[in-house]
Amino acid sequence: MGRIVSIGECMGELSETGSPGMLSMGFAGDTLNTAYYLRHSLGEDWQVDYVSAAGTDGLSDRMVDFLKSEGIGTDHVRRLADKTIGLYYITLKDGERSFTYWRNDSAARRLASDPAALNRALEGADLAYWSGITLAILSNQDRLALIEALGHFAGKGGTVVFDPNLRPRLWDNPETMRGWVHRAAAVSDLCLPSFEDEATWFGDADAAATARRYQAEGARRVIVKNGADDVTFAGGSGELFRFSVPSVEHVVDTTAAGDSFNAGYLAAELNGASIENAVAAGARLAGRVIGARGALVPDAVTQA
């Protein structure tokens, strides 16, 4: 039995149903999206746990029940009596989605505030997955605690996988974001950035430059996603490969493209696939996810 922990924030998602006065309620968040696709891509010989924090209120119960109903372990979702989960609301106007967030004081911002609980969550896991969003929502002290816990986990042979998921709006300023993201990469075995964001915030000339930069910061392997363009893989021995991704005829909604790619890739790699086949599995799954609306597309995995 293998065990994966995904660390981060899951939020309530409110969206219009088309009926006046009726909203629909779902749950999503980058690390939760990846946990969801990992759970649905892997067999029962893998346990997928979510590591986060929620409140003790009805809304938090609803989120935890949702995770459980998807087969995701919730033993390491800490329950804090004075907090609740973050929420966002999606409006669709002329085909463009825009988001309103209530997350500044969410319970998940305390997910790393108890280092002993963090170490218990990591104990016995094979792989820990986290992101730049996980890092962005924490206090400086908790960022350090999480990096230290993951460094310790890696030192004992655990695999740390990090998606930088650059979101400057969650940070005080871009310079702070860049500094912490590099510290995170330093404790990560595999880094999974998306080129467009990296070029914008780090000025990388091409995907190879992104890969080499993260390796220079300490990541052993890097896979750079780039929308419909090639995926670039940089391995631990200095090798660099490029793989094309299948074209998607009707791109409906690119939400969770990167999150689902990561899950498809990791599930295939954990099942023993070659790098090339694991990248293909990630790209196939992401292709299905962007062909439908929403972050969590139940049919995407079975079709893959």
Kindly list the catalytic residues: 259
- Rounded distance, CA 135 to CA 50, Å? 15
Report residue 175 as tokens.
Answer: 């310079």
Q: How many CB atoms lie within 10 A of CB 46?
A: 18
CB contact at 8 A, 189 and 160? yes
Question: Does residue number 8 form part of the binding site for ligand ADP (CB under 6 A)?
Answer: no
- Rounded distance, CA 304 to CA 302, Å? 5
In whole angstroms, how close is the CB of 207 to ligand ADP at the nearest point? 10
Backbone angles phi, psi at 44, to 5 degrees: -70, -5
Q: Which of residues 19-48 bind ligand ADP (CB under 6 A)?
A: none
Residues 6+ apart with CB under 8 A from 253: 97, 290, 292, 293, 294
Closer to ligand ADP by CB, 173 or 247: give it.
Answer: 247
- Rounded distance, CA 30 to CA 34, Å? 7
* H or E stretch covering 32: helix 30-41
Closest CA to 253 of 96, 51, 43, 93: 96
In whole angstroms, how close is the CB of 98 to ligand ADP at the nearest point? 17
CB contact at 8 A, 266 and 161? yes
Closer to ligand ADP by CB, 176 or 244: give it.
Answer: 244
Closer to ligand ADP by CB, 48 or 207: give it.
Answer: 207
In whole angstroms, how close is the CB of 27 to ligand ADP at the nearest point? 18
Closest CA to 72 of 111, 29, 17: 29
Q: Which of residues 243-262 bind ligand ADP (CB under 6 A)?
A: 245, 247-248, 251, 254, 257-258, 261
Q: Which of 53, 121, 125, 231 binds ligand ADP (CB under 6 A)?
A: 231
In whole angstroms, how close is the CB of 101 to ligand ADP at the nearest point? 18
CB contact at 8 A, 129 and 34? yes
In whole angstroms, how close is the CB of 158 to ligand ADP at the nearest point? 24
Residues binding ligand ADP: number (CB under 6 A) = 18
Closer to ligand ADP by CB, 29 or 73: give it.
Answer: 29
Stretch that binds ligand ADP, among 63-71, 174-182, 203-211, 223-231 (CB under 6 A): 223-231
Site map (CB under 6 A) of ligand ADP, residues 173-212, x = contact: ---------------------x------------------
Pairing of the two strands 127-131 and 221-224: unpaired
Closer to ligand ADP by CB, 28 or 257: give it.
Answer: 257
Residues in touch with ligand ADP (CB under 6 A): 194, 225-228, 231, 245, 247-248, 251, 254, 257-258, 261, 283, 286-287, 290
